[in-house]
Structure 1
Amino acid sequence: MTEQTHTMNQVCDTHSTTRFAVIGAGVVGLCVALQAQRAGFHVTLIDSNEPGKSTSYGNAGYLATEVIDPLGTPDVLRAAPKLWLNPKGPICTPLKYVTKAAPWYWRFLKASQTEPAQRGTKMIHQLNQAAVAAWHRTLSDIGADSMLIKGGHLVVWQTADTINEADQLIDKMRAYQIPCEFVAGKALAELEPELSKTLSHAVFFPEVHRLSDPYAVCNALFNAFMQRGGDFITARVTALNPDQDRVNVDLTSDAGLISTLSFDQVSVCGGVWSKSLLQQVGLDVPLEAERGYHVTFPDDQTRIHHTILSADRKLVLSPLGAGLRAVGMSEIGGVDLPPIQKRFKVLREHTQSLLPDLFRKPDLQSSEWMGHRPSLPDSLPVIDQHPRFARLSFAFGHQHLGITQAAITAELLLDKLQQKTPSVSLDALRVDRF
């Protein structure tokens, strides 16, 4: 990460004409900051953490353009009790957080009914259709084309009695013009020789892309942003005060210094941490932290060739520059509670069932991580302006699809701010839709 970071005082003294602030230096905020630079703004990026080191750091890095359904659908509701009661299943809510999570789950239940779920699928599909081309434009612009890899994706099943699930998936994908094919036996083994021979069948998506490594991509985005004259402030945003002419941003540093900066435009891209800032400007958004876990095996980057989703075990395996990564779990659990340690053990067990030879290594190395996906009950992000203060805008709430939709989100938001007609209708992504 480049060291061209400015203190608050330096920015106040030397960049009094700063016009555009982006709050949040995850992958969405970084893409918005670069897109704002391309639009001619002088941009200041603000985060209390190192760019790319929060939620964006630990995901699987694959552009999940085939994942078009919201998290909540009638089928998911029918399967939820079984998944929830399974001690090795993907769904959990920490007991200490159940009461706090209840209002979110109530909205989730309503959003999971047939009609709203179908609307969600239509919206997610539109964003995902545009996602890869937007990433091509973003990475080509900064000379990092090689970080976008057309690697293909596999969804695998354990037993032959689930072939009907694969057939249903293929039918649905073809209805949305998403290329895929059924593979089994020798064809599956040729695609992924290391996969367990006990697996029955899979659906292969040849057009799915991935990023070489999510943190490395965030580094590349940030370095390009700084080289183009951007400013980065390490600070917490403690208050937003918008009016018709400007947005004042109150900042607090680790040293306790407090400063107020004024901007012509401010975009809140702070993931789950956006919620408290929105409350200050009269917006109550049901945003929750959906905790996700990963285990990364740093010496096994080349053990698999594609991203792999286990339909039975609900985890993704991804070959990244940082290593082979196993990603999974879905916990509505807030941002303050520590990880549930047994979840890492479950991830390892699931990984071993899929890649048994990996665990025969005598000196197998691995690392653990937990992050906080910003999730809204309808599984759709917010890409919008404040209904009263047009100078204040928002891009957050992408749940499992932050990496997938980051680049297209930035383009859509800047189009909206410049009063251009976005390539995708944003009506379903309003900040006040709840």
Structure 2
Amino acid sequence: MMYHPTENHSASSSPMTFAVVGAGVVGLCVALEAQRAGYKVTLVDEKLPGTATSSGNAGYLATEIIDPLGTPEVLRSAFKLWLDPNGPICTPIRYALKAAPWYWRFVQAAQAEPAQRGTEMIHQLNRLAVDAWRRTLTDIGADALMVKGGHLVVWQNPNNRHAAHQLIDKMQRYDIACELVEGQTLAQLEPELSETLSHAVFFPDIYRLSDPHEVCRALFAAFLARGGDFIHQRVHTLKAASTEIQLGLIEKSMTFDKVAICGGAWSKSLLEQVDIQVPLEAERGYHVTFPNDATRIHHTILSAERKLVLSPLNSGLRAVGMSEIGGVHLPPIQKRYQVLRAQTQGLLPKLFDNPTLQSSEWMGHRPSLPDSLPVIDLHPRYPRLCFAFGHQHLGITQAAISAELLLAKVEHRPTAVPMDALRVNRF
């Protein structure tokens, strides 16, 4: 569907200009959606499109993950997870003091009532996510980049069968299809998985992307083919006015009719320049990719006990995990890669029978807010400036629907979901 800006010039004059700061998957989707709405769009990023955080995730549309990161259950188990030297959660010692205010807000957001509100909002976004991605990829002729692969949540300890039933009960309340599988049925779904696994919950309707970087390249190629411009520079300054938005680059300033800040974990410093304070932190995530094992598994797999995701991508088998509130400047903790390999071996022991097994390592920065909800909003005083960032673990999942919702707000059209919970000034 083609939209036309409500404030656009007449047909005989130039279209309104629209800059998108941030060329990750969210920024790319926003840029394309703005083009569909008739704007002349410029994408700005100091990194090449899709090469930062967006390139390193598991690539699956995690529509079954509807709880925020912070819940009462998480709080009850948090100290045990933090004390585990091989566990999925830690905070680098050098960053602990700086992270403390974020964690305080996280604890507040994890109380029963706000956490439930978070679940309802995440579910509303996720139930629209696949169709939004389908519209986006169909529009650029790239339908094949989204695959209905199915998803497994697996347990090794048979005493945790109650956890599987609790998950199924919750999913049923939200009309998310799933079923318990064990024994021969589980072995048939994933023959390579460890025989020590007890049971799993199978989600047949979960989709994945062929490879997150591959999808970002396709989005960027379509953006350029439709007349988009890319400026490979960092935005140093942001100034907002009622008639225009100014971006300060290395050697010059540029003005645009409208600007969207989609800079992920790097958005915070720009917002401060326009009098917006957000408790945004970089949640560091890690992956190890085994490039020669793309077909070893058939579904995405989440280990409920090991807290990692395995994903079969075109670039290889990827193991993704860890959660560190650690900012954007500290180097990766090398031990985290060793833990990921060990946890992967526990699930796929045959993978490590290969004496020449190759792998690559990566660490990226998920933009996380304490309530696990993104910001999708207009500036409260300068509506020509808008925002889409803070999607934590669900950036790939919610990128396309976020773009549609943001442009609906920019264009003053009705949105598919209530947006109050996603306000930039909600904190």
Is TM > 0.5 for Structure 1 vs Structure 2?
yes
Contact conserved, 2:25 with 2:54, CA < 8 A, in 1?
Answer: yes
From 231, 234, 237, the equivalent of 1:233 is 231
Report what 1:58 is aligned to. Answer: 56
- Identify unmatched segments of 5+ residues in structure 2: 1-13
SS state at 1:236 partner: coil
What is the CA deviation profile of residues 300-358 of structure 1, one whole-angstrom value per residue up to 9, with x for unaligned ones? Answer: 00000000000000000000011000000000000000000000000000000000000
Report what 2:212 is aligned to. Answer: 214
Alignment of 1:25-424 (within 5 A): 25-252=23-250, 258-424=251-417
SS state at 1:309 partner: strand
1:271: Cα distance to partner?
Answer: 0.2
Consecutive aligned runs of 4 or more in structure 1 exceeding 3 Å deviation = none
Q: Name the CA distance, whole Å, in 1 between partners of 2:286 and 2:54.
A: 12
Q: Name the CA distance, whole Å, in 2 between partners of 1:217 and 1:312.
A: 30
- Letter of the aligned partner of 1:365 in structure 2? Q
1:31: Cα distance to partner?
Answer: 0.1
1:18: Cα distance to partner?
Answer: 6.3
Report what 1:6 is aligned to. Answer: none
TM-score by length of 1: 0.95
SS state at 1:237 partner: coil
Report what 1:9 is aligned to. Answer: none
Q: Name the CA distance, whole Å, in 2 between partners of 1:203 and 1:418.
A: 41
Contact conserved, 2:15 with 2:38, CA < 8 A, in 1?
Answer: no
- Letter of the aligned partner of 1:277 in structure 2? L
Q: Name the CA distance, whole Å, in 2 between partners of 1:131 and 1:240.
A: 30
Q: Name the CA distance, whole Å, in 2 between partners of 1:362 and 1:280.
A: 53
What is the CA deviation profile of residues 275-298 of structure 1, one whole-angstrom value per residue up to 9, with x for unaligned ones? Answer: 000000000100000000000000
Q: Name the CA distance, whole Å, in 2 between partners of 1:362 and 1:313.
A: 24
SS state at 1:351 partner: helix
What is the CA deviation profile of residues 201-258 of structure 1, one whole-angstrom value per residue up to 9, with x for unaligned ones? Answer: 0000000000000000000000000000000001110111111100011011xxxxx1
Q: Name the CA distance, whole Å, in 2 between partners of 1:338 and 1:66.
A: 32
Contact conserved, 2:53 with 2:366, CA < 8 A, in 1?
Answer: yes
Q: Name the CA distance, whole Å, in 2 between partners of 1:322 and 1:79.
A: 35
Report what 1:255 is aligned to. Answer: none
1:143: Cα distance to partner?
Answer: 0.3
- Letter of the aligned partner of 1:34 in structure 2? L
Contact conserved, 2:15 with 2:39, CA < 8 A, in 1?
Answer: no
SS state at 1:52 partner: coil
- Letter of the aligned partner of 1:93 in structure 2? T
1:159: Cα distance to partner?
Answer: 1.1
- Letter of the aligned partner of 2:368 in structure 1? S
SS state at 1:174 partner: helix
Q: Name the CA distance, whole Å, in 1 between partners of 2:307 and 2:137.
A: 30
Q: Name the CA distance, whole Å, in 2 between partners of 1:290 and 1:160.
A: 32
What is the CA deviation profile of residues 385-411 of structure 1, one whole-angstrom value per residue up to 9, with x for unaligned ones? Answer: 000000000000000000000000000
Contact conserved, 1:18 with 1:44, CA < 8 A, in 2?
Answer: no
CA RMSD of aligned residues (A): 0.7
- Letter of the aligned partner of 1:137 in structure 2? R
1:17: Cα distance to partner?
Answer: 7.0
Contact conserved, 1:111 with 1:117, CA < 8 A, in 2?
Answer: yes
- Letter of the aligned partner of 2:323 in structure 1? S
- Identify unmatched segments of 5+ residues in structure 1: 1-15, 253-257
